[in-house]
Amino acid sequence: MTIKRTIMGQLPYGADLYESLSEIVRREWITLGRIQAIGATTHAVVAYYDQQTKTYNPLEFSGGMEILNLNGNISIRDGNPFVHVHILLGDAHGKVFGGHLLPGTKLFACEVTIDEFDGEGLSRSKEERTGLFLWTSGMLP
């Protein structure tokens, strides 16, 4: 897989991290890619996926947190570019928290790198066994 282009930049103070990333990939119509970022939040919302109930359980963190790692991918869901991102956050005491990034995470600062790959975008659909929207194309052997 080869990189078609790389978009790098800083997201604005106070922006919603998930919504900003989603807006960029929709505007640029990126259907196959990867996202990385570092920075800090003023408020964070992440979720843990409960495998038994097949539901996302949100967790909120008020106050400043460091974005230690943000890693995700871009594919197609319901015909549109879709961002799937996990995030690791660190607090002032060195404790680390993480999960699926949700809307509501507000930024203090954030530097983002988005790599768009050549090729046909991967599609997602709901898999009944897990309850998750997983890739239906590009399966590995």
Q: What is the pLDDT of residue 138?
A: 67
Segment 91-109, tens digit of pLDDT: 999 999 999 999 999 999 9
Q: Which amino acid appears at position 114 of this protein?
A: I
Segment 32-72, tens digit of pLDDT: 999 999 999 999 999 999 999 999 999 999 999 999 999 99
The pLDDT mean for the chain works out to 96
Q: Are 56 and 8 in contact (CB under 8 A)?
A: no
User: Which two three-digit tokens encode residue 53?
Assistant: 């109930």
Domains in the chain: boundaries: 3-120
CATH 3.30.930.10 fits 3-120, yes or no: no
User: Which two three-digit tokens encode residue 128?
Assistant: 């009944």
Residue 141: is its pLDDT beyond 90?
no
0.85 exceeded by pTM: yes
